Amino acid sequence: MKVHYYTGLAAIVLVAIHILFRLTVPEGYSASLEYENVIANYKNISYTLVLELILVTVAVHGFNGLRVILLELRQGDAWESAVKWLCIAGAVAIIAYGTRTIILASMM
Amino acid sequence: MKENREGVKGWLNPTRYGANRFAYWLQRLTGLGLLIYFIAHVIETSNIVYGKSAWEKMLAVTQTNEGHIVLMVVIGMCVFHAANGVRLYIAEHGKGIGRPGRPEYPYKPTSLGLGMKACIWVSVALAALAMMYGAYVLFGEA
């Protein structure tokens, strides 16, 4: 469970930074979501690093949590192996897809 | 031999609710809700790479009253899950759960004392406050 607790604590800090980027725009929350503003966020290297860290920590925390719930509901070698690999595949897929967005948006 | 396994029914059985079962159930429910939101959020924000019109089309769907209500629920789930998660982290490290003792009637668990119960209700209160702040930000600009 160590990985679950540490990714959880890291996610609290990182998500707080992510939300502050939406709330600290002087023109307001809606203005923070305007295309030009979001692209400017992606061009900020420090912020893209935070986004990538959020992507990895939340994906690992979320899919590990799902694995824990599914293993509480049912046990057995085949089930446990299937759940483990499905959760790893889910986490890898969402990290890859999100990383693609971060890279492409930062180059626009 | 019949297996002693209740699955989801055991999870959701309301006849055994105490503060800890309520927190256990809500931690899992909010966790699943947040995982679904996280996947949807990664997919919706990927529209940025298809240009301004794709981004604005996505905003036209999500920046609506219904979208704001969904976001308020997500804020509440996120704050409860985080606050209750910190409580579990503290308990995992042996803090605030009392000393182990002989089980004696009425079998009150030392691991769920006043402090832990208070932390659960504080987590709920923080989630409610965050939802109200979220509503103020999201609907305040309308």
Domains present along chain A, CATH in parentheses: 2-106 (1.20.1300)
Is the CB of A74 less than 8 angstroms away from the CB of B28? Answer: no
Domain containing B112 equals 17-140
For A74-100, how does the pLDDT look when each residue is reduced to its tens digit (9 = 90+)? Answer: 889 999 999 999 999 999 999 999 999
Is the CB of A55 less than 8 angstroms away from the CB of B45? Answer: no
Residue A65 sits at the chain B interface (C-beta within 8 Å)? yes
Is the CB of A1 less than 8 angstroms away from the CB of B49? Answer: no
Residue B7 belongs to some domain of the structure: no
For residue B82, what is the nearest residue in chain A, using CA coordinates?
Answer: A12
Residue B9 belongs to some domain of the structure: no
Residue numbers in chain A where pLDDT is lower than 70: none
- CATH number of B101's domain: 1.20.1300.10
Which structure tokens are listed for A20?
Answer: 């502050």
Q: Which of B46, B61, B90 to mutate to test the interface with A (most CBs of A within 10 A)?
A: B46
User: Cα separations (Å) of A79 from A66, A84, A92?
Assistant: 13, 8, 20
Domain count, chain B: 1
Residue A73 sits at the chain B interface (C-beta within 8 Å)? yes
Q: Which of B49, B88, B92 to mutate to test the interface with A (most CBs of A within 10 A)?
A: B49
Residue B52 sits at the chain A interface (C-beta within 8 Å)? yes
**8 Å CB contact between B116 and B87:** yes
Q: What is the ipTM of this complex?
A: 0.93
How would you label B33-59 residue by residue, b for 16+ Cβ within 10 Å and e otherwise? bbbebbbeebeebbbbbeeeeebeebb
For B31-87, how does the pLDDT look when each residue is reduced to its tens digit (9 = 90+)? Answer: 999 999 999 999 999 999 998 899 999 888 888 889 999 999 999 999 999 999 999
Residue B10 belongs to some domain of the structure: no
Residue B85 sits at the chain A interface (C-beta within 8 Å)? yes
User: Cα separations (Å) of B22 from A47, A89, B5, B32?
Assistant: 37, 31, 20, 16
What confidence score (pLDDT) does residue B16 get? Answer: 67
Q: Looking at beta carbons, which pairs linking B41-48 to residues 24 or more positions away fall under 8 Å?
A: B42/A55, B42/A94, B42/A97, B42/A98, B42/A101, B43/A97, B45/A101, B46/A97, B46/A98, B46/A100, B46/A101, B48/A35, B48/A38, B48/A39, B48/A42, B48/A101, B48/A105, B48/A108
Shortest distance between the Cα of A62 and any Cα of chain B, in A, equals 6
Strand positions, DSSP E, chain A: none
The rounded distance, in Å, linking the Cα atoms of B101 and B107 is 10
Residue B1 has pLDDT above 70, yes or no: no
Is the CB of A35 less than 8 angstroms away from the CB of B42? Answer: no
Residue B4 belongs to some domain of the structure: no
Residue B77 belongs to some domain of the structure: yes
Residue B3 belongs to some domain of the structure: no
